[in-house]
Every structure is written in structure tokens, then in C-alpha cells.
Amino acid sequence: MIPEAGLAALCLALALTLLQGTAGLLGAARHSAAWFAVAQRSAWLQTGLAMAAMAALALSFAQQDYSVRYVAAHASSALPLLYRLGAVWGGHEGSMLLWLTLLGCWSSVFALTMPRGPLSSAALGVLAVLSLGFLSYIIGVSNPFARLFPAPPDGSDLNPLLQDPGLIFHPPVLYMGYVGLAVPFALALAALLTSSRHGQPDISWAHLARPWNLMAWLWLGAGIAAGSYWAYYELGWGGWWFWDPVENASLMPWLIATALLHSLAVTQQRHMFGDWSVLLAIAGLALSLLGTFLVRSGVLTSVHAFAADPSRGIFILGLIAVMVGGALTIYAWRAHTLPRGRPLELLSRETLLLVNNVLLLAACAAVFLGTLYPLLMDVLHWGKISVGRPYFNAVFVPLLLPALILSGMASWTPWRGIPVRTWLRRARLPAAAALATGALVMLCGMPAVPFAAGLAAAIFTLILSGWSLLRHARQRLRPGLSYYGMQFAHMGLACFALGASVSGSFEVSEDVMLRPGGTMTLAGYTVRLQQVSQHTEKNHQALRAQVVFERHGHDVILVTEKRRYASGMVTTEAAIGWGLFRDLFVALGDDLGENGYSLHVAYKPLIRFIWGGAGLMIAGGALGFLGQRRARVRLAHEAPAKVAA
């Protein structure tokens, strides 16, 4: 009964989205607060129903109702309860339901906090169209509540790679980001649709969209960082980014959201790049939908590929065609009504931000081409190719480095321009320091130029941002939280670049064969295989090795496992001894016979800076969000005062 109730809730939600869409668009057309209220309430109700459907699915998992096909395919009685609940979004149908529910949450908060008016009303209408698309997809071709007859006595287990606490948090966080991009998208479309009779669309959409885009960017970044950390310790290869289609699918919207973050600032502050921001907002959602397509349809081979199903792929393509195609048609029809640029100074923050946008767009194009080009070649019968790390290192990284340097320069380049001489004088010292570092590193025998360049760029940005922060503190300026947020985010990016380049070029790793008691040396550490033992767990057999890293009398004891699951799948549980400045990594390989075991051991300097930097970026984003909120509250207080005066 419970699964049927879940399906019924979804059908009811479908009716409510229709109402929300109609009411929202009508409210915008007629400037009617009553229609807006209807749209608002149906958004809330619809979200409640989607949550009820999620709860029904979770309950089916908790009760181990294997007559539900989705439950039978993603859980078994041996699976711990926590993972059984995580399995709600461990597969295709459930993750689509999660998409829908999160979209409802964003719409509801949007309906709750936005000021009434045609713009919000139209945006609610657009959000309803998105919900409608996903609901019809779920009910039509991806029903998580479909029954299985006869019901199997037990389910086939959840993919062992997903049996990790990461599963509980990672997909919802990432999806929050993906789905959050729907709000700037909806606002941009609403701005195009509701332009006033004088032909000038409401520029205030940029003002409204900024915090939403920032929030979505935060979630997306957190999701990507968490995913990369998960891969680092779960996949057992010691890498943190694989340029896999699924990873690329999340990176592309992040790059676009980053570009939008910057261009919205210009649109809001200087009333420029209006049509460009609209285009970016549309592209952000388009790429997040395309990401869904890439992961779900199986058109690209990926380590993560879940279920390959062309009929679903066609449906998702149809959704993209309707939503994004529709949005771009509206754009082509109305974009000329957006305000055009104002005077742009060569050395002004506006120009830097515009160049930053161009760089981010080119970087996104590199990821896009690298991900989809094999498909294009195949479709045109040009042969099969693979695009991997060497391509991205050669094409993507050089595009991101100038963006990093620009981020360092932004903090001392004001709006509306600055004389070139003043600008150069300020840049002199940090640039010299960065160049010196780069040169020093090259002399010390850093293996590759790109790494030295990355290091120099990172140091340049760190010095500049740190220096700006110090100067503000000394002069007792109160620049507001947004300013600190920006500096922190830029420093985070620099830390990330530092970690990526240093760990990439100074990592030492080796594959060795050791017998218990045997030792080897690695980067000054004595590595000893202490003991190997066999263990039987609930749903897997584990071969467990205890490895000791010793240096200067300090021991780090790591325990790594090779697991063989009942389903026959074999996974490696790598062990990581983490420190602020270095990680020690060991993964157990195979039993080589004669009591010998193969081990992958590695020393990874500064690798924590990768996630530390990501964390700093996220913290910076959060500060920026608070700052924008505070500014909005102040504005709201000042506005009535002005009217009174």
C-alpha cells in the first residue's frame, strides 16, 4: 500500500504543478497578487507531496519490501539500515525523485522569501514547468514504486562502491547544487518575459538572482569537493579527480555558475552585461540537465555509469529540448530589450570580470569538448577516441591559471577603472614575489613548467589577497562581509591550486610486494607490513593488512582492506594517514602467493590543501551570502525612510 500511496502523491503533485505554473504566469501577466498567492501555496503543497513520496520510498526500504522493483535492485537484508536509507537515492529512479523533491524545496523557499511582483510570479511559473517535466519523467518512464511480481525473497545488494557514509551526504549535496541553478534560470526567464511595456526588462532580476546563484554555487562546490574526497579514499587508486564524464558533468555547471556569480555582480553594480548574465543563467541549468543526461543514459562510458537506458535518455533529451530550447527561443526573441553596456575602462573591475568570464567559458568549453567529443566522433563515424587526463592538463589547466591570477588582481582594481600607472605600482611587489618563487621552483628541479606556473599563480594570489585583507584591517576599513567572502574564496582557489600542483609533482608512489614483517623505504619513511589477516563481515570477506609508516621514531599505523562482496564484486579500502602537510596512502593489492602481498604506497605532500582550499572557497561563498543578505536587510530598512523623507 505504501508504494501506491507514494505514486498517488506524485500524481497529485503533478496536478499541483500545473496549477502553480498557470497561476504563476497569470499572476505575472495580470500583476495579480491573488494568483501569486495561489502559485505560492501550490508550490508548498507540491513540495510536501514530493517529500511524502520520498518518505514512502524510504519506508519501503526500511521495511525491506522487495516487491518494489527499485528496492529489490538496491538493497538486501544484509545491508545495514543506514545504507538502506541511503539507497533511496543510490539508484536512478530514486535520485530522480530526489531531484524533484529538492527542486520543490528550492521553489518553496523562493516562494516564501521573494517579494511579490510579476518577476517572482513568473519565476514561480517557470519553476513549475521544470517540476512538471521531472514529474512526468518520473511517473512516465522512471517510476520508483513499480512493483515486481513475483516478489523475490531478497534483494540484490547495493553496489559496494556506494556502501559508504559518503552515499548518505554526497548525492543530496550535489543535487542541491544542480537543482539550485534552476532559480537563477527561472529569474532570468522571468526577466525576459516580464519586460515592461517600454521595452526595458526588469534589471532587478540580477539583484534577486545573486544570492540564489551563490547558494547553488556553494552546494555544487561542496558536492564536487565531497565527491572528489570520496573518490580519493573509496575508489582506492589514490587519485582525487579522474576527468570522468560524471565528474565533468558536475564541473561544467560549476564553472558556469562561477562565471554567473561574477557577471551578476557587474549586472547589479553597473547595470552591464545584462543579456550575458541571462545567457549564463540559462546555460547553467542546461548543463546541469545535460549532466543528468550523461550520467543516466549510458551514452558515455564512465566508471560511475549507473543504468543505461536509451528510452530514458530520449525523454531527458526531450526535456532539455523543451526547457532550454524554449528558454533560448525566448532569449532570441527578447534579448534585445535588455540594457546594453555602458562605458568600459580598460583597467577596471568590470573588464577583469568580463575577461574572467571569457576564461571560465573557454575552460567550460574544454571540459565540454573533452567529454562529448568522443560521442561526436562516433556519431560521425570518424572513429573512436578517448579523451583523458593528458588532454585536460594540456587544455583546461592553462585556461584556469590566468583566471586565478585575475582573481588576485580583482581585489585592488576598483569599479570604473584606475590609471594604469597606479595599477602597475600596486602589482609590482606581489608579481615579483610570484615570479621569484616560480623561478626558484624551476631551478630546484620541479619536473614540469605547468606545475611551476600553477605554484607561482597561487602564491601571487595568496600574497595579494592576504595583503589586501591586512591593509583593510590596519586602516580599520569595514568593507562588509561580502568583501571578506570574496577574498577568502580567491585565497581558497589559490590554496587549491597550491595543493593540486604540489601534490601532483612531488607525490612519491610505489607498487611493491611485501611479506608480513617486510619493509621498504618511501620518501624518508620506513614502511613495514606488520600483519595480514582474514575477516568475515556481514556481507563481505575482508583481507586486512596493517601497515606501519615510521620516521624519526614516530609511527603511523594504517589498516587497509581488500573486500570481496557476496555479489562477487571486489573493492579496495585504502588507508590514509592524514596530516596538514602530507598524506600517507596505502592500498592493499592482491595476494601474490607464498605469503607475499602487493601494496600501493604513496606519499602525497600538500594534498589536503585541495580540499582545504575548496573549504575556504565554500566558507568565502557563505560569508558572501551573509553579506548580501545583510545588505538587503539594510536596503529594506533604508528604503521606507527615503520614501518618508
Smaller CB separation from other proteins, 327 or 481 = 327
Judge contact between 408 and 490, C-beta under 8 A: yes
Strand partners, 532: 545
Q: Supply angle C-alpha 178, 183, 187, rounded to 5.
A: 145
Judge contact between 127 and 203, C-beta under 8 A: no
Pick from 33, 40, 39, 83: which is nearest to 61 by CA?
A: 83
Residues listed for the chain: 645
Minimum distance from residue 130 beta carbon to other proteins (Å) = 16
Minimum distance from residue 189 beta carbon to other proteins (Å) = 13
Smaller CB separation from other proteins, 85 or 259 = 259
Task: Give the distance from CA 285 to its chain's centroid.
Answer: 13
**Terminus-to-terminus CA distance in the chain, angstroms?**
63
Minimum distance from residue 378 beta carbon to other proteins (Å) = 5
Smaller CB separation from other proteins, 173 or 353 = 353
Smaller CB separation from other proteins, 199 or 239 = 239
The whole-angstrom separation of Cα 183 and Cα 267 is 17
Smaller CB separation from other proteins, 31 or 342 = 342
Pick from 122, 99, 130: which is nearest to 39 by CA?
A: 122
Buried b (16+ CB within 10 A) or exposed e, 515-543: eeebeeebbebebbbeebeeeeeebbebb
Minimum distance from residue 240 beta carbon to other proteins (Å) = 13
DSSP secondary-structure letter at 116?
A: P
The whole-angstrom separation of Cα 329 and Cα 286 is 14
Minimum distance from residue 586 beta carbon to other proteins (Å) = 13
- The three cell numbers of residue 269 are 553594480
Strand 508-514 relative to strand 525-536, pairing: unpaired
Smaller CB separation from other proteins, 386 or 534 = 386
Minimum distance from residue 235 beta carbon to other proteins (Å) = 8
Smaller CB separation from other proteins, 48 or 596 = 596
Minimum distance from residue 429 beta carbon to other proteins (Å) = 27
Strand (E) or helix (H) holding 596 = strand 596-605
Strand (E) or helix (H) holding 343 = none
The amino acid at residue 388 is: G
Smaller CB separation from other proteins, 325 or 419 = 325
Smaller CB separation from other proteins, 4 or 511 = 511
Minimum distance from residue 382 beta carbon to other proteins (Å) = 4
- The three cell numbers of residue 2 are 505504501
Minimum distance from residue 28 beta carbon to other proteins (Å) = 23
Smaller CB separation from other proteins, 59 or 395 = 395
Minimum distance from residue 171 beta carbon to other proteins (Å) = 19
The whole-angstrom separation of Cα 212 and Cα 101 is 17
DSSP secondary-structure letter at 68?
A: B
Pick from 644, 633, 624, 515: which is nearest to 213 by CA?
A: 624
